[in-house]
Homo-oligomer: A and B are copies of this chain.
């Protein structure tokens, strides 16, 4: 694997590390800044597109503030680098905590865990400071029954 690919994959992993740890500073450092900051875009699962670094970072801050626990296991990570731009696609396998049942009796209020799965396309731009996120598009996987030969790993 090229050093470019390795660096892109490290940046990609940092996105999920930032989310898991609720690290807004790391999140801000990952996204493209400077003259093209207004051109970043982000689609959270089920959302419409957000545009511009400030709006995108605000959305992450709010989502992280409303997430008490989340862990990601990335699967089917594919990276391709073309000049100044790199594309990563991956499966986002999430483990989150469930809200505590408001009707629970004292001592019963143990929150459970829930799993979920989305897929993401993450596009990075090469900058003097390293690879920076230009766009993120994540979406729920609604079926595991894609037609033959069209599942993951059949590329």
One complex includes copies of this chain to the number of: 2
A-B contact pairs, 14 of them (CB 8 A): A41-B78, A41-B87, A46-B141, A48-B91, A49-B89, A58-B149, A58-B150, A59-B147, A82-B84, A84-B84, A85-B85, A123-B123, A123-B135, A137-B137
Q: Which residues of A contact B (CB under 8 A)?
A: 36, 38-39, 41, 43, 45-52, 55, 58-59, 62, 76, 78, 80, 82-85, 87, 89, 91, 119, 121, 123, 125, 134-135, 137-143, 146-147, 149-152, 154-155
CB distance from A95 to the nearest CB of B (A): 19
Chain B residue with minimal CB distance to A155?
B51
Contacts A154-B55, A155-B51 known; A84 to B87 CB distance under 8 Å? Answer: no
- Residues from chain B with a CB closer than 8 A to the CB of A85 are 82-85
CB distance from A138 to the nearest CB of B (A): 8
